[in-house]
Amino acid sequence: DALLKAFARILEREAPRPVLVARMLADAFLVLFPYKGKEELVTYCEAYSRALNGFIVSREQNYQLELRSGICCVEDSDASDINSLLDRANMALKTIKMKGAAQWKFYDRTMRDKLLREKDLEIRMEKALADGEFLVYIQPKYWVGTRALAGGEALVRWNRPGSGVISPGEFIPVLERSGKIRALDRYVFEKVCIWLGERKRREQETFPVSVNLSRSNFIYDSFLEEFIEIADRHQADRNMIELEVTETVFLTEENIQKVKREIRAIHDCGFRCALDDFGVGFSSLTLLKEFNIDSLKMDRSFFSDLDNAKTRNVISCILELAEQLDMETVAEGIETEEQIDSLRRLGCDVVQGYYFSRPLPQEQFERWIQEFEEIHVREDRE
Ligand code: C2E
Ligand code: MG
Ligand code: MG
């Protein structure tokens, strides 16, 4: 309380006249005053921060507080009423995420455009699912040694009328934040089951197809019962479906126990399980032994400098560990013949990447695997 009171006084004292200072809620304050230029506003932010920490020092408390400011200048905004200006200052404030990064941010229109676009995506998604605007592409995976088809990964695309094909990098984070991603994951899963069931009825060869699972599936109640029902309804063999989870599902200690149970349950009902994007973020080797995982997908960042002996050593250690833990290894994002040669020598099992094929729409994928097979058989005969 003493700090909040002192800070309110600091805000008033350091600002030019006339000024209006108000405490909005908790530790959020509003300051309104006329200004000449933006540099001047930065100077005020710095003065506030200095004075705030000066107050603390004078109380012999030796910690630092970070002051974060979202600034909306009237001339940068398309609004002139106070509430809209305040909203915009808040938008700017929310873009300051990282500790230690710049402690103030000016509002600009792109922030609002981005927010509106995200909101729009979120609202349109449900209708888009019903209208079949989401398409499931499949990218093939191949055994490194024999170059035979090892399976595929289902990757979603949003074919938005008027906007063209939007890649998941753009809409998945938005859907994750709003919790709507589970509906999309279920949709992709069902499309894959329908396809696997169809192939089986047509007596065509089937192979494992993996489906990405977002982190929110592990936060709320289990998705598994629903997935089992969907797979069985479409007569897809459960052991032909692999669920990919990324390391970010393990973010909290509490979650680790939950995820562990969930992964065990995934196996108990006959699905396979892969760890996706291994190597990005906080990869921990101890996680590998904790979880019962069938395949380890190493992120493409590993394979960008295979000329470097250290890189090769790291990869080789991970491959060896995976082998000892009885996991299949998959190299992601492989684009060149040289990478394939290195990976073969290092003992990686499977590769996925543009070298073989980009993710393809289902019909194209079927055609592709057939043609690839024919070329392969022909090469073998020759
Ligand atoms: P991911 O699961 O790691 O998928 C691999 C990504 O790498 C795909 O990007 C794929 O197109 C791309 N890729 C494959 N080969 C190459 C290559 O040789 N070079 C390069 N530069 N890239 C390659 P995409 O399709 O844009 O997907 C991005 C991410 O979005 C996926 O990463 C996955 O985490 C997520 N995602 C995709 N579909 C779904 C879905 O249905 N549900 C959920 N929850 N996430 C999905
Ligand atoms: Mg994946
Ligand atoms: Mg990946």
Cβ atoms 210, 243 nearer than 8 A: yes
Number of Cα atoms under 13 Å in the Cβ half of residue 212? 22
Q: Which ligand is nearest to the CA of 215?
A: 1
299 lines ligand 1 (CB under 6 A): no
Which pTM does this prediction carry? 0.80
pLDDT at residue 66 in the model: 86
* pLDDT of amino acid 138: 97
pLDDT band at residue 379 using 50, 70 and 90 as cut-offs: confident
- d(CA 244, ligand 3 centre) in Å: 9
pLDDT tens sequence across 349-370: 999 999 999 999 999 999 988 8
Please work out whether the CB of residue 172 comes within 6 Å of at least one atom of ligand 1: yes
Q: Tell me how crowded residue 268 is: count the other CB atoms within 10 A of its CB.
A: 9
Answer left, alpha or beta for residue 173, where phi above 0 means left and psi between -120 and 50 means alpha: alpha
> Using one digit for the tens of pLDDT, what is the confidence trace for 195-243?
999 999 999 988 999 999 998 888 777 889 999 999 999 999 999 999 9
Mean pLDDT score, 93-111: 84
**What is the residue with the minimal CA distance to atom 6 of ligand 1?**
333
Mean pLDDT of all residues belonging to the chain:
89
Is residue 247 in contact with ligand 1, taking CB distance under 6 Å? Answer: no
Residue-level pLDDT at 267: 93
Q: Is residue 270 scored above 90 in pLDDT?
A: yes
CA distance readout (Å), 13 to 66, 76, 357: 19, 26, 64
Angle (deg, nearest 10), helices 224-233 and 181-201 = 30
Q: Would you put residue 235 in left (φ > 0), alpha (ψ -120 to 50) or beta?
A: left
Torsion region of 350: left, alpha or beta (phi above 0 gives left; psi -120 to 50 gives alpha): beta
> Is there an atom of ligand 1 within 6 Å of 212 CB?
yes
> Residue 158 CA: which ligand is closest?
1
For residue 331 and ligand 1, the question of a CB distance below 6 A is answered with no
Cα of 239 vs centre of ligand 2, distance in Å, is: 18
Pocket test for ligand 1, best of 155, 156, 295 (most atoms within 8 A of CB): 155
Task: Report whether residue 280 contacts ligand 1, using a CB cutoff of 6 Å.
Answer: no
CA distances, 243 to each of 149, 217, 290, 304, 338 (Å): 18, 11, 17, 26, 30
Task: Give long-range contacts, CB 8 A cutoff, 24+ apart: 130-135.
Answer: 133/158, 133/159, 133/160, 133/161, 134/158, 134/159, 134/184, 134/187, 134/188, 135/159, 135/165, 135/361
323's tokens: 């082998």
pLDDT > 70? residue 346:
yes
Place of tokens 């800070």: 7
Query: Residue 32 — φ and ψ, nearest 5°?
Result: -120, 130
